[in-house]
Amino acid sequence: MKKDPKDYIIFPLDLPDYDAAMPYVEKLASHVGLFKVGLELFISEGPPIIKAIQDTGPAEIFLDLKLHDIPATVQKAFSAASRHGVRFVTVHCDAGEEALRAAAKAGQGKTQILAVTVLTSLDTGALKNLGYEKNYTEDISRLVLLRAKMAKRAGCHGMVCSGRELAKIRGALGRDVVLVAPGIRPSWSIVDADDQKRIVTPENAIKAGADYLVIGRPIRNAPDPADAAKKVAEEIEKAITHAQK
């Protein structure tokens, strides 16, 4: 099926509950490809929030649970999540290759696994404190790449990675992995980088090989969120056309 420019956009519902999230679902369901439901919203509302988003349609769901446990538990949790008919579920690489493999085995229907390689909140000092070797603390992208390769080997469909690492991971893993990039800021955005340290524009992320862009605050805080999503889709369309030339 052909992917529309809007289908590249993942809007994170970083909101506390049903009442706060649903107005955005209603406004944006036809202007984005997926809604990302994270821990806050899922813990607060549970599976009914998934059903409410699906009933609004047509956008799909990315359940960002960052599963991190022993293989049997990750496998069962992934299997339970996939029964909700969501498109993506995240599993943390820190759980190890066997846990990723177990989740990959448990995949049902259309649900795909996205691996989280290294949290972008971890810097050199934090990784040193966690006991990582110098080789990885002095250049975190080496650790990201090591884990991205591990995730692919284990059968994951793709990974979440920062704009800065997109080209490197695409180059190393080829076309058949799904790359999802957060930290996207359109040049016209009225919000600044916020707490995102390594931002890129939608255009540059697409050119570097992203399949999906997580774009939250630039859309959520715009005077008209649906209009902001349309503008992002136009920028994506230009970048795709440019990449095909």
Q: What is the binding site for ligand C5P (CB under 6 A)?
A: 12, 14, 36, 38, 120, 160, 162, 182-183, 194, 196, 214-217
Shortest distance in whole angstroms from residue 1 CB to ligand C5P: 26
Q: Which is nearer to ligand C5P, 12 or 202 (CB)?
A: 12
Please state, in angstroms and as integers, the Cα–Cα distance from residue 58 to each residue in 25, 167, 183, following that order: 10, 30, 25
Q: Which is nearer to ligand C5P, 71 or 203 (CB)?
A: 203
Nearest position to ligand C5P, beta carbon: 216
Taking alpha carbons only, the member of 104, 110, 103, 95 closest to residue 34 is: 110
Shortest distance in whole angstroms from residue 196 CB to ligand C5P: 5
Compute the distance between CA of residue 180 and CA of residue 163 in angstroms, rounded to an integer: 9
Q: Which residue stretches of the chain are H helix? A: 18-28, 39-45, 48-56, 71-82, 97-106, 124-129, 134-137, 140-153, 163-173, 202-207, 217-220, 225-244
Shortest distance in whole angstroms from residue 117 CB to ligand C5P: 9
Q: Which is nearer to ligand C5P, 120 or 137 (CB)?
A: 120
Compute the distance between CA of residue 115 and CA of residue 180 in angstroms, rounded to an integer: 10
Contact 59, 34 (CB under 8 A): yes
66 catalytic per annotation: yes
Catalytic residue (one of 27, 66, 152, 231): 66
Shortest distance in whole angstroms from residue 217 CB to ligand C5P: 4
Compute the distance between CA of residue 218 and CA of residue 216 in angstroms, rounded to an integer: 6
Q: Which is nearer to ligand C5P, 102 or 159 (CB)?
A: 159
Catalytic residues: 66
